Amino acid sequence: MAELATQNPRPRILSGMRPTGKLHLGNYMGALANWVRLQNEGQYECYFFIADWHALTTDYADPSRVKLNTLDVALDWLAAGLDPGKSTIFIQSHVPQHAELHLLFSMITPLGWLERVPTYKEQQENITGKDLSTYGFLGYPLLQAADILVYQPQFVPVGQDQVAHVELTREVARRFNSLYKTEVFPEPDALLTPSPKLPGTDGRKMSKSYGNTIGLTEAPTTVAFKIHNMSTNGQRIRQSDAGDPDLCPVADLHKVFNSPDAVAEVEKCCRAASQRCEFCKMDAARAVHNAIGHIHDARMSMESRIDDTWEMLREQSRKASARAEQTMMPVRAIFDLSHDLGSIRRYFAVNENHDKEVRDLSQHSDWWDLPADQRAKLLRNYWKNNLVPRDVPLTQESNREFTTIDRELEEPFITAKKKRVFVSTSRDILMRNRWHFEIPLRSYEVWTLLCWSDETRALYDFPVPQKTFSSDFAMARRVKKDGKIPVQIDRTEEGKFTLTIAAREVADISAFQGDYAPLK
Ligand code: TRP
Ligand code: SF4
């Protein structure tokens, strides 16, 4: 089918951060630096977002800093080199599809799965002063699963601490796909960020809650001062003593930010007590500055343009939302939450305007920009639920596993009398009032050709018995390309429809329009 042209997919990656305010070196080395690298390598389509709803799962009692922290994180990201020209950078709460999918996932997720996520009990015990016995906090990892799956990514770049959440995400995807016999959600893999050991100023792990951080965009003098006051973890209390650099957090800073040669020199001087700690620390501060000084400068200039930054985030969130919507449409259809009256209409008496209404697709403006294969799937569903008369029950060989959506779209419907009905959709984008189809060389009793017009947004449906054109069909076998027969429908100026099989015009098929007798 011309419409089924495959679109270039670079594998997608998605990751997020809670807005806890300005980033520190630990956040940078553990995540952000890696994201910038992945973005610049250009191998992936990248989505990065600020998880402000996740912040509310713990900070719901005082949300006053969430927006400020969100902007702070965004400014640090941009300063560090995330680039809206290369990645989609957005705010979680500006994309309501995350919340919608979270809600739908909550219907199918057993409570036990969430209670067993290790971070749940740990955090409840470790975070004191906040009541975390809430529904939202229990659902934290499920919201994360929705964050991820709504973009159908292949990989999720995260640190070791998030692996359990990615595992839950895979389980939810698997359960959804198997419950609804679909492949909407590919199971994403964690793309583990190697995170070097980066101690805080007191030698413990760098963490905001320990108050031992060095900010990614702090002024160079502040950074130098903090490093100057850093603990040596008991090494070289007297400067004449030799030290062990493997025990000193300053040496860890060297290992992360200095060259291998310089690190060797530092270790040698430490063991030989040949250079005072204060010089070793000045050297460390210089290495840190060389690595991240430009980020501080970039942040300074970003801060004078916060309106632009916010506008960019809103714009990028709209882009993310459009992508998320592509996932949500088939998901809503699966739960029978699509916005048209659909199959329900068939249970009520059909009024005289019915035929006109069901063929008028102007209400479905949300379909027109979907990728061709998803649109084709929705349109087939729509056709089955709205256009096929009530006395024509159709089934599909539903237990079959489809390897690709293309194959699924070629799968015929079966009538009560076991007739095989091939259904294909086409949109007149190449030329107005002309539709192209490609029909597999298998035999079907009926071809149903669905033509939809970009201009009038009308749908024309032609159930055509294959045997009516069997001689043309036999001829066409010789002209086939790639095992398929090219078929074309044209709408003439007088409003008639002609059928062309393998480049030979064969008939006026106007009379077939909307006539479902061949399916009975
Ligand atoms: N839980 C993550 C953290 O604390 C943040 C997060 C929320 C996230 N949603 C996500 C990370 C989706 C990756 C993908 O760091
Ligand atoms: Fe630490 Fe450097 Fe002093 Fe050794 S010389 S103890 S590595 S600060």
308-325: pLDDT as tens digits: 999 999 999 999 999 999
Q: Which residues of the chain have pLDDT under 70?
A: 1-8, 342-343, 345-347, 349-350, 398-405, 481
Residue 53 within any structural domain of the chain: yes
pLDDT digits (tens, 9 = 90+) for 128-140: 889 999 999 999 9
**Angle at Cα 44 formed by Cα 43 and Cα 49, nearest 5°?**
145
Residue 68 in domain: yes
Domain membership of residue 182 (yes or no) is yes
CATH of the domain at 293: 1.10.240.10
Choice from 277, 281, 283, 286 to test ligand 2 binding pocket (greatest atom count within 8 A of CB): 277
pTM for the model: 0.82
Q: What is the pLDDT of residue 390?
A: 80
User: Do residues 244 and 316 both lie within one domain?
Assistant: no
Q: Cα–Cα distances in Å, from 364 out to 100, 357, 409, 458?
A: 20, 12, 20, 11
Q: How far is ligand 2, taken at its centre, from the CA of residue 263, in Å?
A: 11
pLDDT at 132: 93
277 and 311 within one domain: no
Q: Are residues 272 and 413 in the same domain?
A: no
Q: Write out the residue range of the structural domain in which residue 242 sits.
A: 211-300
Q: What is the pLDDT of residue 48?
A: 98
Do both 194 and 215 map to the same domain?
A: no
User: Is residue 329 in some structural domain?
Assistant: no
Co-location of 260 and 310 in the same domain:
no
CA distance 369 to 376: 12
Rounded to an integer, what distance in angstroms lies between the CA atom of residue 457 and that of residue 472?
31
Cβ-in-10-Å burial (0-12, 13-18, 19+) of 418 comes to exposed
Ligand 1 near 156 CB (within 6 A): yes
Backbone φ/ψ region at 474: left (φ over 0), alpha (ψ -120 to 50), beta: alpha
CA of 377 from ligand 1 middle (Å) equals 32
With a 6 Å cutoff on the Cβ, whether 158 touches ligand 1 is yes
Looking at the fold, whether 36 and 175 belong to one and the same domain comes out as yes
What is the residue with the minimal CA distance to atom 14 of ligand 1? 15
Domain count, the chain: 3
DSSP 8-class letter at 61: T
Return the best residue to mutate from 12, 13, 14, 15 for the ligand 1 pocket (most ligand atoms within 8 A of CB): 15
Q: How much is the pLDDT for 402?
A: 60
Backbone angles phi, psi at 101, to 5 degrees: -70, -35
Distance CA 420, CA 348 (A): 28
Q: How far is CA 72 from CA 12, 292, 312, 419, 444, in A?
A: 26, 17, 14, 63, 61
| Cα-to-centroid distance, 446 and ligand 1 (Å) | 50
Say if 492 falls within a structural domain. yes
Predicted pLDDT at 350: 64
Token pair listed for 516: 């479902």
Q: Which of 250, 258, 266, 271 for a ligand 2 pocket mutation test, highest count of atoms within 8 Å of Cβ? A: 250
Residue type, 478: R
473 & 395 share domain: yes
